[in-house]
């Protein structure tokens, strides 16, 4: 009899806990629904306040959502803070790192943008978006050989991606690899006939 009583109590506790969990999830869904409605109406402050009404610092989804909403509201410092909390909660999730790039770019903190792209590529070496934009940053710093390595990864995966092909061509040109640059500029012209950038590049090859 004592065993039956203990088992019954255990089952009741599990059911109570499950019910509380379910209610908590329902409440969170309602809060998110209201925040989406406010976002769609461009009422970002209201959307933010909806989430803050039941804020949990250990909830990845709430933090990443607040990062996005604060970015839309041009509250870049707050946005970065929430994205960084999301990254700390799930360090191998690259979506929060891509999110963090947006407010960092808005305040032109290119060193931290570069760091996020490097971290993304540590997790996902073939990520084409991170490879491309890290390549652009390095290219703008005139490290043409370093940029070429990143653009080359993308071109190997997507030979007909114009943006990557043309950036690789210019990187090769400024890296004094003229024969490779010529082939790539010609490839760019196949992808996009009469492309002015490719034609300009060809004229600069000795």
Residues 6+ apart with CB under 8 A from 67: 79, 80, 81, 82, 83, 86, 96, 99, 100, 103
Alpha carbons 61 and 51: distance in angstroms, whole number: 10
The pLDDT confidence band at residue 13, using thresholds 50, 70 and 90, is very low
Which sequence spans correspond to the domains of the chain? Answer: 144-206
Q: 144-206, superfamily in CATH? A: Tetratricopeptide repeat domain (1.25.40.10)
The confidence score (pLDDT) of residue 54 equals 85
pLDDT digits (tens, 9 = 90+) for 54-84: 899 999 999 999 999 999 999 999 999 999 9
Q: Is there a contact between 169 and 185 (Cβ–Cβ < 8 Å)? A: yes
Task: Say how many C-beta atoms besides its own lie within 10 A of residue 79's C-beta.
Answer: 25
The confidence score (pLDDT) of residue 10 equals 45
Alpha carbons 93 and 166: distance in angstroms, whole number: 30
User: 168 pLDDT exceeds 50?
Assistant: yes
Look-up: residue for tokens 């065993």?
A: 3
The pLDDT confidence band at residue 192, using thresholds 50, 70 and 90, is very high
Q: Is there a contact between 69 and 38 (Cβ–Cβ < 8 Å)? A: no
Retrieve residue 42's tokens.
Answer: 């461009």
pLDDT digits (tens, 9 = 90+) for 104-162: 999 999 999 999 999 999 999 999 999 999 999 999 999 999 999 999 999 999 999 99
Retrieve residue 150's tokens.
Answer: 């990143």
């Amino acid at each position: 009899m004592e065993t039956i009583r203990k088992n019954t109590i255990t089952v009741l506790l599990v059911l109570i806990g499950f019910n509380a969990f379910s209610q908590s999830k329902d409440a969170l869904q309602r809060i998110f629904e209201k925040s989406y409605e406010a976002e769609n109406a461009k009422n970002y402050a209201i959307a933010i306040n909806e989430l803050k009404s039941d804020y949990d610092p250990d909830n990845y989804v709430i933090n990443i959502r607040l990062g996005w909403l604060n970015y839309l509201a041009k509250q870049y410092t707050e946005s970065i803070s929430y994205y960084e909390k999301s990254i700390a909660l799930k360090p191998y999730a690259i979506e929060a790192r891509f999110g963090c790039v947006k407010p960092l770019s808005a305040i032109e903190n290119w060193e931290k943008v570069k760091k996020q792209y490097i971290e993304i590529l540590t997790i996902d070496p073939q990520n084409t978006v991170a490879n491309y934009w890290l390549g652009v940053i390095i290219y703008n710093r005139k490290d043409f050989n370093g940029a070429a390595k990143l653009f080359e990864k993308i071109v190997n995966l997507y030979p007909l991606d114009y943006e990557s092909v043309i950036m690789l061509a210019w990187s090769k040109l400024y890296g004094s690899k003229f024969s490779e640059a010529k082939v790539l500029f010609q490839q760019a012209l196949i992808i996009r006939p009469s492309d002015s950038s490719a034609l300009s590049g060809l004229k600069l090859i000795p």
